[in-house]
Amino acid sequence: MASHRKSRTPGTRVAGIRTPALATAALTSVALLSQTADAAPGDDRPSLEEVEKKVGDLYRQAESATEKYNAAKEKTTKQRKRVDTLLDDVAQRTQKLNEARAELGSYAAAQYRTGAGMPDTATFLLAETPQDVFDQRQVLDRMTGRQKAAVDDYVTQQTETMKKRQEATESLRTLTETQGDLKTAKATVQKKLADARELLSKLTAEEKARLAAIEKRKQEEAARKAAELARQQAAQEQAREEAAQQSGGTSESSGSGSTGSVDTPPADSSYAAKAEKALAFARAQIGKPYVWGATGPGSYDCSGLTQAAWKAAGVSLPRTTYDQVNAGTTVPVSQAQPGDLVFFYDDVTHVGIYIGNGMMIHAPKPGTYVREESIYYDGDSAIHSIVRPA
């Protein structure tokens, strides 16, 4: 980062003589030294701004991988339950098949002992494919009574067992693939976080202090923008109330610092009541650490926090930001109300819960804690959309 120290006025005196050319050259040297100070030691070392941007990018990439991990984990859990259900079903059907086989075998043994001329019942025990089953059904017309019923039951059990075994095999294959996706996403998260830690570890104490100063300035700018949004929303609320009074109606405010425009009324009271519960839960989590993939109660990632908060209000949200962004009605930033979800970045990899006055509660990134922060914490362009989930 270029130095913020003011350069001296051209025309510096050297040994009592005014030498503009020498002063200019000296100042140029100072500027160059100042610029390279951020990169020292080594000409190939990135500037502080480059490090700050790289670290931010790595954290966002880690969060993107976290959401992919969350999706794969959720899919794996569902797939594992399906596999378990299918395997239980296969076990039960296999038991019934064995019972049917035993009964059919008793008829085959009786035929063998008596030399009866009835079709060979034992051949039904050799069926291995659906075609075998179909072919063997043709002899059923020559059977009667309990023998026919036994064969029919055996064939039915065999067909259903084959079908369920195939389903279980396919589900196991899908589960294996999903577990592979889960493993890949986990490795990606860990790699991005390790890269970010490595970059930060190379900074000197002075550079870390300057990096903190950069972050502080960003936070101050974000707070200014949040305050401006709060003023705009307050003005909209006042205008709406005045319009309602002039028309003889009443105004329904849903909360401090968040309202719709004059043409768009705020969310109804039922939403406000649910949002209040969601926000009460979110506030109670402030100070708990961000842990990727976590859904509480001791730690959270961003979507884990919003899911848990709205669950406390009786509303079920999907697990990932990719799905949560579609779980409600999109509204303009100027009409955001407490409880709304604020999504960030083009790939929708971060989310917070709006609390009014341009502020939100969110689980920011690894190494941080659940906290209140301006929705402009990463600039205007970082905001993807505002979604009202209930």
Catalytically annotated residues: 302, 350, 362
Q: Return the structure tokens found at 146.
A: 């309990």
Place of tokens 């109804």: 268
- Cβ atoms 82, 178 nearer than 8 A: no
DSSP 369: B
> Which residues in 286-302 are b (16+ Cβ under 10 Å) and which e?
eebebbbbbbbeebbbb
- Measured CA distances, 151 to 19, 165, 300 (Å): 113, 21, 58
Q: Where are the beta strands (DSSP E) in the chain?
A: 13-14, 17-18, 329-331, 341-344, 350-356, 359-362, 371-374, 383-388
Q: What's 141's DSSP letter?
A: G
215 CB contacts (<8 Å, ≥6 apart)? 52
Supply φ then ψ for residue 339, to 5 degrees: 100, -25
- Separation between Cα atoms, residue 344 and residue 301, nearest integer Å: 14
Alpha helices in 38-144, H assignment, sequence order: 48-114, 130-137
Beta-bridge partner residues of 361: 353, 372
Count, in order, helices (H) and strands (E) of the chain: 8, 8
Q: CA angle, 206 as apex, 205 and 211 as ends, to 5°?
A: 95
Letter string b/e over residues 72-108, b meaning 16 or more CB atoms within 10 A of that residue's CB? bbbbbeebeebbeebeebbeebeebbeebbebbbebb
